Structure 1
Amino acid sequence: MSSTHHDTITWSMMLRKLPSIIKALPRVAKGLKLANVKQPDQPCGLAFTFEQATVRNPDGPALLHGSVSLTYAQVNQWANRIAHHLLAQGIGKGDVVGVFIENRPELLVTVLAVAKVGAISAMLNTSQTQQALLHSVNLVKPAAIVVGGELVQAYSAIRQQVAIDETRTWWVADQDCSRQSGEAPEGLRNLMAECVDCASDNPPSSQQVFLDDPCFYIYTSGTTGLPKAGVFKHGRWMRSSASFGMIALDMSPDDVVYCTLPLYHATGLCVCWGSAICGASGFAIRRKFSASQFWNDVRKYQATTIGYVGELCRYLIDQPPATNDRDQAVVKMIGNGLRPGVWSEFKERFAVNHICELYAASDGNIGFSNILNFDNTIGFSLMSWELVEYAHDSGAPLRNSAGFMQKVGKGRQGLLLAKIDDKAPLDGYTDPQKTEKVVLHDVFEKGDRYFNTGDLLRNIGFGHAQFVDRLGDTYRWKGENVSTTEVENILLQHPHIAEAVAYGVEISNTNGRAGMAAITPAESLATLDFTELLSFAREQMPAYAVPLFLRVKVKMETTGTFKYQKTRLKDEAFDPGKTGDDPIYAWLPGSDTYVQITEQVLADIHGGKFRY
């Protein structure tokens, strides 16, 4: 996000917000009370909030998908039947259940059922295959797995290397399972058919789930290569759903949230669904985002609220203007990554009043949200946080002569650190060593502890901040975090590649960073078949991780400690005028090979001729 002087929040801007602040105070107080579960033996979490919403709005729509519309009572009873069946099969508190289903009601009902028995849903990324999927499953040692019919092929490919009993390997038909179920493939059990005659009342186990119990494992591509499993506890579900659903969005049973974001990520699962449950509101989902169908769906479901990431908004802006762009009921939206260039245009074109931009990390302990509806900001946080000076080459926070870190001034960017305390505990990862790596000690005084987010923010006044960029070896593209180490490891498996360095580069008028890799051929440039190389990359990694640009280097420069000089590679990006003798190649949208970038191709990319 680029800084402009008018993004700074002034006294006069705050005074203009005073009436809306006064109006919001009662719900903020109520939301804080709801979010701040303190008693370790107080029932709380996903199942608890869903059961409360069911009491409040039993006949209101809870889940909407295609032609399916299910009420809160129907979803709750369906989840209860699955929960009773899981309990009968020996799945109990603390057990891990892998959930591998695309965006559809069956995914959310399964996750709700798992929460009701006190077990933990491992939210497997549905675009993963092969080694990445195998790693993600085995990392959390599931007692059971539920696989959607649409993903059986991907799971079958790794099944022999996974230690899950066949009696607990369940299948969910790729159809409306609330009405019927099909024939399970060999070696898989039909979950919906097995639980059809189970009891439909709330299981007592849902009252035995407390703030410190894990609810989900949400995978994050850390800087160390393969995904890490972030722990998302029920106490955090309470904080998240109340903060966004009540305090930020003021959701009610009259609202419907439309979400096309993948539900294995926290923005879709915890922010969007959590907000809907908090308000006993409807939650409308789509299997995959479609720019051309987006507003038709919004009208069909009479959605008042949409979930977004920045790229999604840009795709909607890129659609040809229509006379009925403003003819829909959306008044508020929640998500992250919206750029200033798109912000005002989106608000104006689609008549959206409130953009609740947020900042949160599924593996962190802090959340910001734009409650006061200023433009171009992630808003403020009720947690304690600071922005500090950092080393530009390593991204590490700097300490002064006294051994403490140094805060940056207003208007300047710094590394975001979030204080770890009772109000903001750090759930961390399943691997305690990985958790310890992101914790900083003795930051401003002896004994204090802070979570290092690895993100750069800018302080724009009155506790508000802007997101600037990510540090470290991940970059964000198409709403997904891409691990450069993982991309490098896959490229290095190719027989004609000796060295590979992956990094993110900016393309004009796109959000996030596109993937680029510098590669050194094992023999010579002539041995590289670029059509075959692209085919290999697309087969081995998710679509969003495939490098869009390649730089072929005879020899890779390294530092004295043999680290690749990524900063320089990022700066030179894919401009042949800056890369000397190294040829640069691009995978242009719609093609099936990499082509060499000429000055004309570069001008076409920058001019927006290609749609990324």
Structure 2
Amino acid sequence: MRDTITWGMMLRKLPTIAKAIPRVVKGMKVANVKDPTQPCGLAWTFEQATLRNPEGLALLQNDVALTYAQVNQWANRIAHHLISQGIGKGDAVAIFIENRPELLVSILAVAKVGAVSALLNTSQTRDALVHSLSLVAPVAIIVGEELVPAYCAVRQRVAIAETRTWFIADRDTYGSPGISPDGFINLMKVSADTGDAGRNHNPPSSQQVFCDDTCFYIYTSGTTGLPKAGVFKHGRWMRSSASFGLIALDMRPADVVYCPLPLYHATGLCVCWGSAISGASAFAIRRKFSASQFWNDVRKYRATTLGYVGELCRYLVDQPPSADDNQHGVTKMIGNGLRPGAWQQFKTRFGVGHICELYAASDGNIGFSNMLNFDNTIGFSLMNWELVAYDHDSGAPIRNANGLMSKVAKGGQGLLLARIDDKAPLDGYTDPQKTEKVVLRDVFSKGDRYFNTGDLLRNIGFGHAQFIDRLGDTYRWKGENVSTTEVENILLQHPNISEAVAYGVEICNTNGRAGMAAITPAESLATLDFSELLSFLQQHLPAYAVPLFLRVKVKMETTGTFKYQKTRLKDEGFDPGKTVDDPIYAWLPGSQTYVQVTTQVLADIDAGKYRY
């Protein structure tokens, strides 16, 4: 079986395992805060890092370089002002700022108060923005100058007092607060008035934050198209930052994490920043990801560690080769979604020794990490998990005659379930009904509870797993289950294709969903030989998995976290009237190439002229 981990492979890792044992023990002790009266969480870990490394660099962006002591003092000033304005423990404070130091300092200040940061997606506007705010009913909001127009457009629909509508100028505000527009309070200006006492002393409230207190609301995509607000507690911050920073990456004060990911999501904020804080390391950020400037930034900040998502790596691989590709100090990287097709290519070309691929969801209770540096795996988890058989059409796990679920055999793929217990509690969503929908009861024995991740994994041995697909992203055609990830990986192996997104579409009078893929040519449409491409796909994929339709896109649209917009692609299907400037091609039965879909070809397909 491909990528199976064998005894021989594990034996070769014994020196690595032996070396890691002390930090694993230390990390588990830090991660598993069981005493409900023990101070912990984001503010506590940052204050501990400040005690360990006060003059060490903490935040870097462009020409801004702040030490742990400076960031902690800055956050203290803001925290004292929030407290003076009546913000207290458990209050939701919406934060609407793009990637810059002020975002992280604001989040840290809110955590010191014991309040909850509602991390608004900076690309949201209008109804989606109003919906996100209404889910958590914030008592205050902090708005960056760059997003003032978006907030002003919905301000009359949101019940937040003007006296608690704070503004942060789009500049380096550490030394100069800037000028706020009418209707906003300049947070940096008013918080500067707290004086030395407010700057030099951590507020007592930061010692009154415990493992079961909520740290953030992190928004995830909802089935209705509108976001859900996931609850992320301080106890989970401890597990995340220690597991990834101490155990998986062994972060130290000399390390620098470079992270161009959006910080309103858990990978950038909790995994990457959390890892940096756990090691009292520096955290370098970028406003928005740039493939052309990525390695220049890495060299500028002297980064040792990268934060990534899979598509970011694909963009870097697609850049023209350079003699400087491996001229950097990066030895390790952490993130998720790196496809097997790009894994070894990235590792070899850029000379990164350790790819710590992880699996985690901001709304879940389990995390995997590739601590032992095997290829093409999300690693292992210290939590209790199982892979179970599921019904492909409904996505529901299958129960046997006794009403219990069935585990899949080693090497098989199944639906990932994570046990909910004291070691791995489920924080869920702000809406209890949405939380209840993802909880499965009486799974293997009466009374047990498991979180349904909705993800398909394969057990590749020794507790390690391989991500296969989101359950909703697989489709069934000709009685077979097709993994979109598998199809995408093969398409990306073709030298003339730089991006690929696979999905299933319905054809009139057929069962299941036929395969379709949106592709971006490496150079231009003219470089694609559709007969050769079809032959290539037939050689590398089972017949039922070869896409019947192709949509050629000059540029693939992605979300702020570089995820492709599959829902929109599925909805538009292979109708050239809906895809506008993107030509559609079809592999018609009996032919040996893809032909362009015209209005007439579409009508013939819909009329059943072709037998699929």
Give the TM-score range, shorter chain.
0.7 to 0.9
Superposed counterparts of 1:164-563, under 5 Å: 164-198=160-194, 199-200=198-199, 201-472=201-472, 508-509=491-492, 513=501, 545=565, 549=569
2:133 to 120, 125, 137: 137
The question of whether the paired residues in 2 share the 8 Å contact of 1:299 and 1:328 is answered with: yes
Q: Which residue of structure 1 lines up, in the alignment, with residue 590 of structure 2?
A: none
Detail structure 1 runs of 4+ shifted over 6 Å in the superposition: 503-506, 514-520, 540-543, 602-605
CA–CA distance in structure 2, aligned partners of residues 511 and 460 of structure 1:
27
2:66 to 62, 70, 80: 70
Q: Which residue of structure 1 lines up, in the alignment, with residue 522 of structure 2?
A: none
Q: Kindly provide the CA deviation profile for residues 190-224 of structure 1, in whole angstroms up to 9, marking residues without a partner as x.
A: 11111012111210100000000000000011324
Specify the code of the residue in structure 2 equivalent to 1:158. V
Specify the code of the residue in structure 1 equivalent to 2:134. N
Shift of 1:541: 12
Are 1:100 and 2:96 matched, yes or no? yes
Q: Which residue of structure 1 lines up, in the alignment, with residue 118 of structure 2?
A: 122
Q: Which runs of 5+ in 2 are unaligned?
A: 476-483, 493-497, 509-552, 588-592, 597-612
Q: Which residue of structure 1 lines up, in the alignment, with residue 549 of structure 2?
A: none
Q: Secondary structure at the match of 2:308?
A: strand
CA–CA distance in structure 1, aligned partners of residues 32 and 442 of structure 2:
26
Q: Kindly provide the CA deviation profile for residues 423-453 of structure 1, in whole angstroms up to 9, marking residues without a partner as x.
A: 0000000111111110000000000000000
Q: Which residue of structure 2 lines up, in the alignment, with residue 46 of structure 1?
A: 42
Q: Which residue of structure 1 lines up, in the alignment, with residue 78 of structure 2?
A: 82
Shift of 1:597: 1.9
Specify the code of the residue in structure 2 equivalent to 1:86. L
Shift of 1:542: 11
Shift of 1:549: 4.5
Q: Which residue of structure 2 lines up, in the alignment, with residue 148 of structure 1?
A: 144
Specify the code of the residue in structure 2 equivalent to 1:56. R
Specify the code of the residue in structure 1 equivalent to 2:45. T
The question of whether the paired residues in 2 share the 8 Å contact of 1:549 and 1:586 is answered with: no
CA–CA distance in structure 1, aligned partners of residues 160 and 391 of structure 2:
45
Specify the code of the residue in structure 2 equivalent to 1:330. V
Q: Kindly provide the CA deviation profile for residues 134-155 of structure 1, in whole angstroms up to 9, marking residues without a partner as x.
A: 1001110000000110011111
With over 3 angstroms needed to count, the CA separation of the structure-2 counterparts of 1:351 and 1:546, relative to structure 1, is: closer
Q: Secondary structure at the match of 1:392?
A: coil
CA–CA distance in structure 2, aligned partners of residues 202 and 124 of structure 1:
26
The question of whether the paired residues in 1 share the 8 Å contact of 2:262 and 2:561 is answered with: no
Shift of 1:473: 7.8
The question of whether the paired residues in 1 share the 8 Å contact of 2:93 and 2:110 is answered with: yes
Shift of 1:603: 6.3
Shift of 1:186: 1.3
Shift of 1:183: 1.5
CA–CA distance in structure 1, aligned partners of residues 567 and 293 of structure 2:
28
CA–CA distance in structure 2, aligned partners of residues 85 and 304 of structure 1:
36
Q: Which residue of structure 1 lines up, in the alignment, with residue 533 of structure 2?
A: none
The question of whether the paired residues in 1 share the 8 Å contact of 2:501 and 2:566 is answered with: no
The question of whether the paired residues in 1 share the 8 Å contact of 2:253 and 2:280 is answered with: yes
The question of whether the paired residues in 1 share the 8 Å contact of 2:130 and 2:154 is answered with: yes
CA–CA distance in structure 2, aligned partners of residues 307 and 202 of structure 1:
29
Q: Which residue of structure 2 lines up, in the alignment, with residue 162 of structure 1?
A: 158
CA RMSD of aligned residues (A): 2.7
The question of whether the paired residues in 2 share the 8 Å contact of 1:223 and 1:472 is answered with: no
Shift of 1:518: 8.1
CA–CA distance in structure 2, aligned partners of residues 384 and 550 of structure 1:
35
Q: Secondary structure at the match of 1:20?
A: helix
Q: Secondary structure at the match of 2:257?
A: strand
Are 1:594 and 2:581 matched, yes or no? yes
CA–CA distance in structure 1, aligned partners of residues 406 and 426 of structure 2:
22
Specify the code of the residue in structure 2 equivalent to 1:181. P
Q: Kindly provide the CA deviation profile for residues 218-247 of structure 1, in whole angstroms up to 9, marking residues without a partner as x.
A: 001132431110000000000000000000
Specify the code of the residue in structure 1 equivalent to 2:185. R
Are 1:113 and 2:109 matched, yes or no? yes
With over 3 angstroms needed to count, the CA separation of the structure-2 counterparts of 1:275 and 1:8, relative to structure 1, is: same
Q: Secondary structure at the match of 1:7?
A: coil
CA–CA distance in structure 2, aligned partners of residues 281 and 27 of structure 1:
16
Q: Which residue of structure 2 lines up, in the alignment, with residue 15 of structure 1?
A: 11
CA–CA distance in structure 1, aligned partners of residues 451 and 385 of structure 2:
9
CA–CA distance in structure 2, aligned partners of residues 140 and 293 of structure 1:
37
Specify the code of the residue in structure 1 equivalent to 2:24. V
Shift of 1:130: 1.1
CA–CA distance in structure 1, aligned partners of residues 381 and 485 of structure 2:
28
The question of whether the paired residues in 1 share the 8 Å contact of 2:291 and 2:316 is answered with: yes
Specify the code of the residue in structure 2 equivalent to 1:597. I
Q: Secondary structure at the match of 1:594?
A: coil
Q: Which runs of 5+ in 1 are unaligned?
A: 476-502, 521-533, 553-572, 575-582, 588-592, 606-612
With over 3 angstroms needed to count, the CA separation of the structure-2 counterparts of 1:419 and 1:546, relative to structure 1, is: closer
CA–CA distance in structure 2, aligned partners of residues 512 and 442 of structure 1:
40
CA–CA distance in structure 2, aligned partners of residues 29 and 266 of structure 1:
25
Shift of 1:291: 0.2
Query: How many residue pairs end up in the alignment?
Result: 523
CA–CA distance in structure 1, aligned partners of residues 76 and 31 of structure 2:
25
With over 3 angstroms needed to count, the CA separation of the structure-2 counterparts of 1:412 and 1:518, relative to structure 1, is: closer
Shift of 1:514: 6.5
With over 3 angstroms needed to count, the CA separation of the structure-2 counterparts of 1:399 and 1:150, relative to structure 1, is: same
Q: Secondary structure at the match of 2:102?
A: helix
Shift of 1:471: 1.6
Q: Which residue of structure 1 lines up, in the alignment, with residue 20 of structure 2?
A: 24
CA–CA distance in structure 2, aligned partners of residues 43 and 254 of structure 1:
27
The question of whether the paired residues in 1 share the 8 Å contact of 2:256 and 2:276 is answered with: yes
CA–CA distance in structure 2, aligned partners of residues 144 and 604 of structure 1:
56
The question of whether the paired residues in 2 share the 8 Å contact of 1:217 and 1:229 is answered with: yes
Q: Secondary structure at the match of 2:193?
A: coil
CA–CA distance in structure 2, aligned partners of residues 385 and 245 of structure 1:
22
Specify the code of the residue in structure 2 equivalent to 1:319. Q
CA–CA distance in structure 2, aligned partners of residues 370 and 604 of structure 1:
43
CA–CA distance in structure 2, aligned partners of residues 127 and 214 of structure 1:
24
Q: Which residue of structure 2 lines up, in the alignment, with residue 487 of structure 1?
A: none
Q: Which residue of structure 2 lines up, in the alignment, with residue 37 of structure 1?
A: 33
Q: Which residue of structure 2 lines up, in the alignment, with residue 493 of structure 1?
A: none
CA–CA distance in structure 1, aligned partners of residues 21 and 326 of structure 2:
30
With over 3 angstroms needed to count, the CA separation of the structure-2 counterparts of 1:206 and 1:519, relative to structure 1, is: farther
Specify the code of the residue in structure 2 equivalent to 1:237. W
The question of whether the paired residues in 1 share the 8 Å contact of 2:262 and 2:560 is answered with: no
CA–CA distance in structure 2, aligned partners of residues 298 and 225 of structure 1:
36
The question of whether the paired residues in 1 share the 8 Å contact of 2:469 and 2:485 is answered with: no
Specify the code of the residue in structure 2 equivalent to 1:136. S
Specify the code of the residue in structure 2 equivalent to 1:7. D
Specify the code of the residue in structure 1 equivalent to 2:71. V
Q: Secondary structure at the match of 1:329?
A: coil
